[in-house]
Amino acid sequence: MEAQIKLEELIREGHEAKSECLQEGLYGLYFINGPEYVTWIEKCKMFLKKYVHDEEIKSNFFDAARQANGNGDSHFDQMIGILWALKEYEFVENSRTDVEGNSKIDKIFISHSSKDFAYVDALVSLLNDIGIKKSSKHIFCSSLPGYDIPYGETIYDFLKQELNNNIMVLFVLSHNYYESAPSLNEMGAAWITSKQYNTILTPNFDFKKIEGAIDPTKISFHMNDEDGLNKFRDKMVKVFELGEVDYKIWNRDKKAFIEKVKVIAETESLNLNTQVKIEKVKKLKDQEFELQLRFINVTDKIIEFRYIDFELSDSNGNKSIHSATDEMLHDFSLYPKENKVVKWSFNYKSSYDPQRDDNNKTKIKFGVYS
């Protein structure tokens, strides 16, 4: 029934588009050209892709449409004739389709960086609150036990299989996401398979930094955006045909989610706005060296470190891995807007040569208290 109604609308709109776009050229010859005509043609093509399974019918229409704009009405007559013929076509309509007009969606695939575990853990709980079942059949999230890759499966084969199914992809974009090669590979694979996707940004990630296969003009929202969450919930309810949750319950769940995300974002912000750099490596004696470290705090808060790990490499590729000791971190803090240099000494036993340290290969990881 839905297809027949849309077909009638397209036939009517086709004649209207022809009337609006019919122009007279040289020697009194008429042709059809204009944006309304192009729009109508594209709507017809989407209709055929969604409702018509006969490849010959689609091919004939697409051939006529390819050269229709800017030419005479013979192409129009062929296209409108095919639409009229479809009145006798036996349409088979799905009981549920996604907003893109594709097949029924049964599952959500959460594409994210493993470093954003806390965010996606909260997001999955929110999806459960909305009504998505707590099952790996309905949600795939590689970082969460129970929603991750089944035992015995290889990650790439499993992801390939998942992306070939009728799924909705949720991209959780962050600074970590764009630094993760596996995440970017997932993004590209989802784009190639033309999956419906939604973009959710972590609170500290800016819209302007969206890049890659993601369409920056497509509506996105931050995790802590109340209005965005309301629209997201409405879409999930519609696409997955979920039962309506009382708005008072939803508002409570939403508020709890936003508060949880706020705490995660505050800790993340401290890490993003704190810098630890190695300015110099000095050999003191055999098996001992000194690190000259610069600490920068651009926030208005006092920062205390939970841990600081260093991985040093020399010009020959030899590595030396160290962690700040409890004694070093005890009572050590950065005051608001503070920029200071600290010297710490470490013992080492590897073949690493401090005098040949390659600063470009240095890796530093740290965590701060919220």
**Which contiguous run of DSSP H or E holds residue 187?**
helix 181-192
d(CA 165, CA 232): 22
Show the DSSP H helices in 242-365 as ranges.
247-272, 326-329
DSSP string, 201-225: E-TTS-GGG--TTS-TTS-EEETT-
β pairing state of 167-173 and 196-201: parallel
369 CB burial (10 A radius; 0-12, 13-18, 19+): exposed
Q: Which of the residues 186, 268, 288, 327 is marked catalytic?
A: 186
Distances 183 to 9, 204, 268 between C-alpha atoms, Å? 42, 18, 19
Side chain identity at residue 247, one-letter code = Y
d(CA 52, CA 61): 11
Residue 93 near residue 52, CB atoms below 8 Å: no
217 CB burial (10 A radius; 0-12, 13-18, 19+): exposed
Residue 169 near residue 162, CB atoms below 8 Å: no
Q: Which two tokens stand for residue 365?
A: 């990881």
Active site residue 2: no
**Which contiguous run of DSSP H or E holds residue 105?**
none
β pairing state of 167-173 and 107-111: parallel
112 CB burial (10 A radius; 0-12, 13-18, 19+): buried
Q: Which two tokens stand for residue 80?
A: 């409108």
**What percent of the chain is helix, strand and coil (3-state, nearest 5)?**
45, 25, 30
Distances 252 to 224, 238, 245 between C-alpha atoms, Å? 14, 21, 11
Side chain identity at residue 225, one-letter code = D
Instruction: For residue 205, count other CB atoms closer than 10 A to its CB.
Output: 24
Which positions are annotated as active-site residues? 186
